[in-house]
Copies of this chain bind each other. A is one copy, B any other.
Amino acid sequence: MDLLQHLRSEAETVNAHLDHLLPSCEGLARNVIEAMRYSTQAGGKRVRGAMVRAAAETFGTPKDDVLPTACGIEMIHTATLIHDDLPCIDDAGLRRGKPSCHQVFGEATALLAGDALLIAGLHAIATQASRFDPARVARAVVEVAELAGIGGVIAGEAVDIEAEGKPPESETLAFIHDKKTAALFRAAVRAGAILADVTDPDLATLTRYATALGQAFQVTDDILDVIGNPATMGKQTGGDAAKGKLTYTAVWGLDGARTRARELAHEARDAAGQLPANREFWFALVDFVVEREF
């Protein structure tokens, strides 16, 4: 399977529907709508959206049926990136090779655009009650909110900030890696699979896959911050070390990080092998995550 080609095609579908879901840039609040659109459409591989769609398809539901949920997860992801880039957190001027949201629209508008995208993301999932059993939709909203909020991504962000400049601590590192990245991967696959009426054992397998894949993604991010090429990545490298960030390479070294990425990839492949369909996609995604150079 040509995964990059597949992801490009998936991203096109997701992007077109995002364009449809986001309000149009007219009327009084157009600044914040422009900011929502700017950051949502600033590129991105839409890995999480593709995961929502593949998860539904793996359990027999046409992937276009869960398009609003795929877009919802991407909106939530974009919201966290906008807020992360703000001066009070990462103070990042570039995101995916373009000026970050607050650089273009100012801090207040970027803050509100992030808020609006968080809400719009959960809204998009809740609207799926017109197509699926509403009990499953409500469950999907509950689970995504848990994994995106203080039980997941937000907790990961908070601990990441607090750990900056402190002595490396492996338990804290594991928490950050799991919550900051793997939690939203879990949210993506669980939401898609729950809408597709997955069984509990299959959901557990898919969750194990997403957890290993998300952690592998984050370890690879830490490696790329040390050895990556800024031109390929569209952002500066070496920033983590300069800021005293708690990273896998800081705790376990570059070789330790590479070993860990291989272990996690093995764990993800093991789970993927037990899924009833779409195995080629799930395997290819593991290779993509650990072998990427951007």
Contacts and interface: CB of A to CB of B under 8 A. Distances in A.
Contact of A83 (B111, B133, B139): B111
Given A134-B129, A135-B134, A154 B88 contact: no
B155 A142 contact: no
Nearest to A140: B126
Interface residues on A, range: 35 or more
Nearest to A119: B149
B112 A158 contact: yes
B145 A134 contact: no
A52 interface: no
A126 B145 contact: yes
A21 to B, nearest CB: 11
Number of identical protomers = 2
Interface string A113-150: 01110111011001101000111011101100110111
What is the interface of chain A mostly: helix, strand, loop, or mixed? helix
Interface in A1-54: 23, 28-29, 31-33, 36
27 contacts: A28-B159, A29-B158, A36-B150, A83-B115, A89-B108, A108-B161, A111-B111, A116-B150, A116-B154, A118-B119, A119-B145, A120-B149, A122-B126, A123-B141, A123-B142, A126-B138, A126-B145, A129-B134, A129-B135, A129-B138, A129-B139, A129-B142, A134-B134, A134-B137, A137-B138, A138-B141, A141-B141
Closest 10 CB pairs of A and B: A129-B138, A123-B145, A119-B149, A88-B107, A134-B134, A29-B155, A126-B141, A32-B158, A134-B135, A116-B150
